Amino acid sequence: MSSIQEPIRIILPNHFDGSTVNAWLFVEPEPILVDCGMLTEDSWNALVRGIRQNGLEMGDISKLIITHGHADHMGMANKVAEESQCEVWIPEYLLDWAIDLGTQLRQRDRIYRDVFNSHTDNDLYQLEDYSNMLLKVWEPISKDRLRVFDNDAVLKIGLHEWQTFYTPGHCINQVVFYQPEYQQLISGDMILNRTPVPYPDAGIGNDQVRCQSLRLLLNSYKTISKLKIQHVYPGHFEIMGCPEKLIQKQVNRIELNIQKCFAWIHEGIHDFETIIQKLYPKRINDSTFFMTIAILDFLVYEKKVESRIINKKSTYFPIRESVLSSTS
């Protein structure tokens, strides 16, 4: 009878926020990586060093599997494939990001700028040029290296089979991998020790409308909560045990912030800048900006508030007789 096989954590630098990102290495029966970091010299050196510390060379890697389309998780995928001649396995909604990266980044940049320009300006904080910045640390992947798997596929990773689950919210194309026998989860950025940011993305099948990222994230929490999990291998930070209490804590915090925004709007606060400054006093950055946008999008989607354009900015007003209930 086989026993649990834990992937080896390789810690890579994350230039976005000065923290780190995880790549996961399976040594047997064939060397497989899950995620690979962004395309920088120090990230590459850290990945090569981590592989060598486990008795392997980059050329030994036979397969690279990607969880989602963010540069810190797949920026180096093409370089890994070139150096090792490995296959790069990607979930179905990630294909356009793998082969037509420039177009996808410009589309995401457009969504970010539309959101930003309709809510605030550079007096709040500086919006970066995402597409040009990311193209410096992220390459498209050669088509001949790519293998696309379904969002519900069963993959052989290491010694065991892992079930794929589609878990959008943080990223529209994100998946996680679940090993039911040993209750293991490779979680990408779905389960982290801090709440994943529900970044806006173009909707699947309609790239002109941004997705309801917070609603998707809450639904993905429900998907994960149905699984029996004792070991979590996240995209960032340390290995974790059962995530049940962590998930509930994060969902409760999101629900509380939804309730706060709903109450403030009913009290007569209508502009985005006042709402975000009340929600995150002295802590305005990319993460808090997009979380606040996601909360307001959620309230509009649920028909609890309505959005009106006043002086070219989105403002928020209560819908008469609307009552906020739990998202759970």
Measured CA angle at 36 (ends 156, 162), to 5 deg:
20
* Bridge pairing between strands 184-188 and 175-179: antiparallel
pTM for the full predicted model: 0.94
Residue 6 is given by DSSP the state P
Q: Contact at 8 Å (CB) between 296 and 305?
A: yes
C-alpha distance from residue 303 to each of 143, 237, 275 (Å): 43, 37, 18
Per-residue pLDDT for the chain (328 aa), expressed as one digit of tens each? Answer: 579 999 999 999 998 887 999 999 999 999 999 999 999 999 999 999 999 999 999 999 999 999 999 999 999 999 999 999 999 999 999 999 999 999 999 898 889 889 999 998 765 555 566 777 888 999 999 999 999 999 999 999 999 999 999 999 999 999 999 999 999 999 999 999 999 999 999 888 877 788 999 999 999 999 999 999 999 999 999 999 999 999 999 999 999 999 999 999 999 999 999 999 999 998 888 899 999 999 999 999 999 999 999 999 999 999 976 556 656 5
Query: pLDDT tens digits for 28-79?
Result: 999 999 999 999 999 999 999 999 999 999 999 999 999 999 999 999 999 9
Which domains are assigned to the chain? Answer: 8-243 (3.60.15.10), 249-318 (1.10.10)
Q: Contact at 8 Å (CB) between 295 and 327?
A: no
Return the number of other C-beta atoms located less than 10 Å from residue 105's C-beta.
Answer: 20
Q: Output b/e per residue, 237-274; b: 16+ Cβ within 10 A.
A: beebeebeebbeebbeebbebbeebbebbeeeebbbee
pLDDT for the residue numbered 18: 78
